Amino acid sequence: MANTTIEPLDSAPAQIGWTYPGVIILTSAAMMVVMALDIIFTGDIGIISNIGLVVVGLVGAINVRTADYQAAIWVAPIAWVIALLTTGQLAPMRGGSFFREQVLHLAYGLAMHAWWILGATALSASVAIFRRGRQP
């Protein structure tokens, strides 16, 4: 009777990297830090947050597992909204009552940075799709 040994298979390239929830959580946390730094240093949500969104989206798209490449498509807008609703509340917004300030803050934060959000989404999606297409 021959002894057979079973050696572990190398992990498939599609299983190496951040998982779907990991990408969302890590990029959202990083975006909250970037937005907080922007508010601390400039007093408003501006160019630092915009460039940070692009960088965070690209890092997420590069590190996501190729099996979960769809996460990179949604990570930029999700990270922006989470950062805007949490850390972004530190930015001054004058609009009257608390509810009106919150609605104005959300609408202004999405509308004034829409091109950056769309650009970061397109860039991270193209990187993730390109990486997915190159995997066996």
Residue 3 resides in a domain: no
Residue 5 resides in a domain: no
Q: What is the pLDDT of residue 89?
A: 85
Q: What is the pLDDT of residue 76?
A: 92
Instruction: Quote the number of domains for the chain.
Output: 1
Q: What is the pLDDT of residue 43?
A: 87
Residue 9 resides in a domain: no
pLDDT along the chain (136 residues), means of 10: 60 72 93 95 92 95 87 91 90 78 86 95 91 68
Q: What global pTM score does this model have?
A: 0.82
Residues 88, 105 contacting (CB under 8 angstroms): yes
User: Range of 43's domain?
Assistant: 18-134
